[in-house]
Structure 1
Amino acid sequence: MESFIYMLSAILSVSFLWIVINGLFFPNYQKPSRLSSPPLVSILIPMRDEERNVEPLIENLKQLSFPNLEIVLLDDHSSDETYSKALELTRKDSRFSLIQGAPLKKGWAGKVHACYQLSHAANGDFLLFLDADARLNQNTIEHMLPFFKDEKVGLVTGFPHFPVTTWLSRLLVPMQHFVIWLHLPLALANYSSFKPASAAHGAFMFFERSAYDFIEGHFSVKSSIVEDVHLARVMKEHCFKVKLINATPYVTCHMYETNSEVWNGFLKNIYIGIGKSPIMVALLTIYYSLLYVLPFFLVFMAPFYGIWFIVPLLLVWAHKLYIDLQTGQVSYLFLFMPLSALAFLVIMHASMWKSLKNQHYIWKGRAYK
């Protein structure tokens, strides 16, 4: 038993070292350049039943300091007061325009269809697609544009800072950062055209316009409900570079407000996000069970077998605490990492079985498979 503890501790120590080294391959932010003729940036936001987000979103966008912006909002057949609220809040600001979405076409995912329409309404040299629950720092645009100095960069994206309010969001939402830092080789993601090493976050997708048009934009992934990752792969397929940044200093995403939203949001994405692979589900189940759930139970054996049985849990906490500190997350959440891993496994299996039973995922009143 002691030899198992030593081996588990060694694996977790190597994993922690990997996380630290892997994070070094996030691209560094550069000092914004002073541009005599700043490019036009189009900020494009699809909205469906976003009544609660409309006012804070628009007030946030009004505070942006970049001097050459157009902001296009699309109401995608909302059943609430999204459109009327947006109309009232934007009518006196010439930077804003508000359009009503066309009926959803067969074979299209709802958000992708809305983004496709937004791209046709945009005039910018750069297209920034935001979710309605995303918020930008005042100078976010200025700090993103230097990434495009390399003319082959077609997309800049990154996982935002995630405020968490419900117990399920505290367990699952920050795991998005954890999965990226632990599982994605960031050197390959940021400095190679290797498509499997691709990640993106749909709340913040910043495109160079000519690259976006070259790949046919959202039309190229029209049926996808994980369009962010698929767009990143299409970019690489066409030899454009994708920069996956640590966006937490400049972008915040209030992702879910209820436990039900957390469950349904992850349910529709997680199994598709791992390629609908039961083998991958099995491997991840073994991996997270042994490395991140089991150490919690080993602690209870420490009074009988020695203090070494506590070490694996301390290393698990170190993994999560390090990433939480790097991403501006609430500091005490690392203590719940075994529960986060368990919740991740439960929802992954639920997502898989829903797919295997050929059942629909429901999101914002629409059904997807």
Structure 2
Amino acid sequence: MILAIITCLFWLIVLIDAFLGMRKLESLTNVSEDLGGNTPLVSIIIAAKNEAKDIKKSVQSQLKQTYQNIEWIIVNDRSSDGTGKLIEELVQEDHRVRSIHIHELPSGWLGKNHALYQGYLVSKGDILLFTDGDVYFEKDTVVKSLSYLTKNNIDHLTLTPDMDVKPFWAKAFVTFFLFGFSYFKRPWRANDDQSPVAIGIGAYNMVTKEAYEAVGTHKSISMRPDDDLMLGVSIKKIGRKQRIVRGQSHLQVEWYSSLKEAIIGLEKNTFAGLYYNYFMVIFALSGIFISQVWPYLALFYTEGVTRTLYGISILLLFLVYRETANVMAKGAVRYFLVFPISAVIFMYCIARATILTSFRGGIQWRGTFYSMKELKKKP
């Protein structure tokens, strides 16, 4: 009964925090396009490895931007498919597009981080926008982002994308991930200049070049698999202003096309997100089981007031899910029906990533192996 009371109180506090916090996140839809005559050059830097499926259509969606003062730098990071050829076709289609082809990865770098850094080195804009080769923009995405950045006098803006995931179990897993990300990371706190909470999302990290250079560029996070988040952390740490804005209406990405792909994809950063700390892994697994799986099992193994309290916990879980995942992903609430199964799958994902990383002595990411020694090394 004591555990049931603690669980209820925990989710009640999380619900109040999420209810108030999520309402503090502005939507890009409501942002004005008025730049007040300020039209800086924006350098959109894209790291692409084996993105033949999406790269051309993705960039073409970006080329339709109503804001014109943009250059695109697409970095082909050792692709083995037709990515390089498609990038060169884009260069021929629009004079604003430039290409870089990387054939070898120097030591001390993860491929994506190195590619983004190489893009920065040739960029000319005072505003940098780091994004991926499978992200689709609405035509007013950049102008609204720039308007928000300049009017609020901030150094870093990140947008939440619409996760366009089709298969049922992949979508259930992704929405659970968004739920966990929201209540654990509390992204709305990143918008509080006095809070140490920081954020960064790989689909859309817009940052002033001055701030990017002040944190040491991608050199300072050269071996971080979670480079997008760590870029935001680095910027907040030196006292610069950052904001996260809901951008689902303006940004779309198919994060993973299947549940298997999602589990494999998270191999690289799940253990990294727990700082390669086994105690943190045990704490995370225990916490998820006790707070998100056990309440369902307890309905069958407890009775009386204790069972009622666990029933209330599940109701509170649903309300938190509705306030977080359902705001971050369209129609997510229906996947709450398989919530405990999604939680178990996520626990498996954490355990699997930890065991594989430890057994291999590092991570295998996009055809390149990175040792734990390299990953833990500070730049």
For normalisation by structure 1, the TM-score amounts to 0.89
Q: Residue 336 of structure 1 aligns to which amino acid in structure 2? A: V
User: Which secondary structure state, in structure 2, belongs to the residue aligned with residue 148 of structure 1?
Assistant: helix
CA contact (8 A) 1:127 1:207 kept: yes
Match of 1:291 in 2: 291
Q: Cα distance, 1:152 vs. partner?
A: 6.0
Kept after mapping to 2: 8 A contact 1:74/1:100:
yes
SS at match of 1:219: helix
Q: Distance in 2 between matches of 1:104 and 1:7?
A: 50
Q: What is the rounded CA distance, in whole Å, between the counterparts of 1:296 and 1:129 in structure 2?
A: 41
Q: Please report the RMSD computed on the Cα atoms of aligned residues, expressed in angstroms.
A: 2.5
- Partner SS for 1:329: coil
- Structure 1 residues 234, 77: CA separation in 2 closer, same or farther (over 3 Å shift)? same
Identity across matched positions, percent: 21
Range that drifts further, 185-194 or 50-59: 185-194
Cα shift at 1:173: 2.0
Q: Give TM-score scaled by structure 2 length.
A: 0.87
User: 1:140: Cα distance to partner?
Assistant: 0.8
Secondary structure of the structure 2 residue equivalent to 1:181: helix
Q: Could you tell me which residue of structure 2 aligns to residue 361 of structure 1?
A: 363
9 and 238 in structure 1: CA distance in 2 versus 1, 3 angstrom threshold? closer
Residue 125 of structure 2 aligns to a residue whose secondary structure is coil
- Whether the 8 Å contact between 1:71 and 1:95 is mirrored in structure 2 is yes
Q: Which moved more, 1:43-52 or 1:200-209?
A: 200-209
> What do residues 124-176 of structure 1 show as CA deviations (whole Å, max 9, x unaligned)?
12111111111112111122113323686221113322122235522332234
CA deviation after TM superposition for structure 1 residue 209, in Å: 1.5
Q: Which residue of 2 aligns with 1:267?
A: 267
Contact 1:50 1:132 in 2 (8 A): yes
Paired residue for 1:153? 154
Counterparts of 1:97 and 1:164 in 2: how far apart (Å)?
30
Q: Measure, in 2, the Cα distance between the counterparts of 1:319 and 1:151.
A: 30
Tell me the equivalent position of 1:98. Answer: 99
Partner deviation per Cα, 1:11-60 (whole Å, 9 max, x = no partner):
32232122112223435653222443521111111111111012321221
Question: Greater shift after overlay, 164-173 or 63-72?
Answer: 164-173
The one-letter code matched in structure 2 to 1:14 is I
Q: What's the CA shift for 1:187? A: 5.6
Aligned pair in 2 of structure 1 residues 360, 277: CA closer, same or farther (>3 Å)?
closer
Measure the CA separation in 1 of the matches of 2:215 and 2:153. 13
Structure 1: any 5+ residue segments left out of the alignment? none
Tell me the CA shift for residue 325 of structure 1: 2.8
Q: Distance in 2 between matches of 1:125 and 1:105?
A: 27
Runs (5+) with no aligned partner, structure 2: 373-379
Structure 2 letter corresponding to 1:116:
Y
Size of the aligned set, in residue pairs, is: 366
SS of 1:52 mapped into structure 2: coil
| Correspondence for 1:120 | 121
Deviation at 1:263, TM superposition (A): 1.4
2:210 matched to which residue of 1? 210
1:139-288 to structure 2, matched below 5 A, reads 139-149=140-150, 153-186=154-187, 188-192=189-193, 195=196, 197-288=197-288
Q: Which residue of 2 aligns with 1:138?
A: 139
Q: Which residue in the other structure is 2:21 paired with?
A: 22
Which letter maps to 1:157?
Answer: T
TM-fit CA distance, 1:301:
5.9
CA offsets 1:267-310 (integer angstroms, 9 cap, x no match): 111111122222222222222212211222234469x7588353
Contact 1:54 1:132 in 2 (8 A): yes
Encode CA deviations 1:210-269: one digit per residue, 9 max, x unaligned.
Answer: 211232311221222111222222212332122233332322221122333211211111
Paired with 1:75 and 1:226, the residues of 2 have a C-alpha distance of 20
Instruction: State the shift of 1:315 in Å.
Output: 2.5
